[in-house]
Amino acid sequence: MESFSLILAIVVVTALAFDFTNGFHDTANAMATTISTGALKPKVAVAMSAVLNLVGAFLSVEVANTISKGLVDETGIRPEVIFAALVGAILWNLLTWLVGLPSSSSHALMGGLIGAAIASAGVGAVHGDVLVTKVLLPAIAAPLVAGIAAMLGARLTYRLGRKADGKAAAKGYRAGQIASAGLVSLAHGTNDAQKTMGIITLALVAGGALAPDSDPPLWVILSAGIAIALGTYLGGWRIIRTMGKGLTDLQPQQGFAAQTSAATVILASSHLGFSLSTTHSVSGAVMGAGLGRRGGVVRWSTATRMFVAWGLTLPAAALVAAIAEWVCGLGDWGTALVAVFLVASSAAIWKISRREVVDHTNVVDDEPEAAGVVTQAMAAVTPPPAGVTGEPAAAVASSASEPKAPTATTTV
């Protein structure tokens, strides 16, 4: 019983560590456009987002129930399986953060859980209908819906404000951006914090500490909310720079349209219990808003790398989690080995990130002095597709005001 209690405590701590990485990995979802257009100072933006993420965690438990009750069969799932799932999700989050790619923390968690469950109990442990209807279909639909809504919204704002004074309109939309960014932060807490609640609840059920079909206890909701808020305040500056400067150039009108569209999609999905990727929604909205302005651009070289990362998230996290589960199955020493590997890998990634620092002081620079590691890692992970001349990520970021390479941009 003592050994079991220890592994359950390890799972809870690891789940909160994932929630923390989710926070700083996804800060860009709410605040990248607000920071890039100058509506808020970087540190103020992440502080505001952190508070609203915490508030959002208390608004619903529908997504948590999708994970804890619907995605995998609770019977036969051991705490070690959930630990292995979290290992896969955390490592993928850290790798994509290192290279500045806005991939989905949600899908990393889903992939890790699926891979570990299959390695432990076979394919039958995963509920395929839930996976398709509440994970895969929203993954495809969310960025499309948010992108189209943002494009139409941006065009509408420019049409309605074509006779207004430019400076006054920009100031008004910056104020609107602050409100819409707050809504996205609230939506992120409502959707993403619940995923950690769901995984901890599943662990408690698997360990016999909770009855099957239980909702998340209050302490789980509170701890998950605090963890994601702390991670958000830390600020995922690498991904903020990619989302705010690397994908497209946004004016306040476009930023307002992007954030409002994304928040609407995320909140609606949370209400329906869909385990939606807020990253997919916001990225789609940013690209849609970029195309919503006459002369607007989307840098498809950066977008292509992002799409490849999206496609790799589920299988990559699943593979790592499946291997981790196999090692954990060798006994207590196997679980300890996986834990040591997770800590050592996380420390190595952090150390590499210190070679080229991106923080609140240079996140909005058009020509960041230090982008070598990020550029090389992005190119190594996702080379340009055949027939496309992809620009290095640093060149894309540094040419934010010069959209003239036809192979890397599309003008509408």
Q: 34 and 27 in contact (C-beta within 8 Å)?
A: no
Highest mean pLDDT among 191-205, 334-348, 397-411: 334-348
Mean pLDDT of the chain: 78
User: pLDDT tens across 242-277, in order?
Assistant: 776 677 777 778 888 888 888 888 777 767 766 667
Q: Is the pLDDT of residue 300 over 70?
A: yes
Highest mean pLDDT among 109-113, 243-247, 363-367: 109-113
Q: 275 or 100: whose pLDDT is higher? A: 100
How high is the pLDDT of residue 327? 94
How far apart are the C-alpha atoms of 80 and 103, rounded to whole Å?
26
How high is the pLDDT of residue 317? 94
Q: Is the pLDDT of residue 364 over 90?
A: no
Indicate whether 1 belongs to any domain: no
How high is the pLDDT of residue 98? 87
How far apart are the C-alpha atoms of 263 and 355, rounded to whole Å?
35
Q: Minimum mean pLDDT among 17-26, 290-299, 323-332: which range?
A: 290-299
Q: 237 and 370 in contact (C-beta within 8 Å)?
A: no
Highest mean pLDDT among 166-175, 184-193, 361-370: 184-193
Indicate whether 390 belongs to any domain: yes
How far apart are the C-alpha atoms of 24 and 378, rounded to whole Å?
19
How far apart are the C-alpha atoms of 353 and 374, rounded to whole Å?
9
Domain that holds residue 208: 7-411
Q: Is the pLDDT of residue 412 over 60?
A: no
Number of domains in the chain: 1
With cut-offs at 50, 70 and 90, classify the pLDDT of residue 192: confident
Q: For residue 126, what is the DSSP state? A: B
- 271: how many CB neighbours lie within 10 A of its CB? 14
CA distances, 34 to each of 17, 92, 358 (Å) = 27, 26, 17
Indicate whether 162 belongs to any domain: yes
Q: Is the pLDDT of residue 224 over 50?
A: yes
How high is the pLDDT of residue 99? 84
Q: Is the pLDDT of residue 358 over 60?
A: yes
Q: 3 or 195: whose pLDDT is higher? A: 195
Q: Minimum mean pLDDT among 75-79, 126-130, 243-247, 344-348: which range?
A: 243-247
Q: Is the pLDDT of residue 343 over 90?
A: yes
Average of per-residue pLDDT across 177-186: 83
Indicate whether 2 belongs to any domain: no
With cut-offs at 50, 70 and 90, classify the pLDDT of residue 165: low
Indicate whether 344 belongs to any domain: yes
How high is the pLDDT of residue 67? 65
Rg of the Cα trace of the chain? 21
Average of per-residue pLDDT across 373-395: 43
Indicate whether 171 belongs to any domain: yes
Average of per-residue pLDDT across 340-350: 94
With cut-offs at 50, 70 and 90, classify the pLDDT of residue 279: confident
Indicate whether 35 belongs to any domain: yes
How high is the pLDDT of residue 132? 84
Highest mean pLDDT among 186-195, 294-303, 306-315: 306-315
CA distances, 150 to each of 143, 147, 153, 258 (Å) = 10, 5, 5, 5
Indicate whether 370 belongs to any domain: yes
Q: Minimum mean pLDDT among 314-328, 354-368, 376-390: which range?
A: 376-390
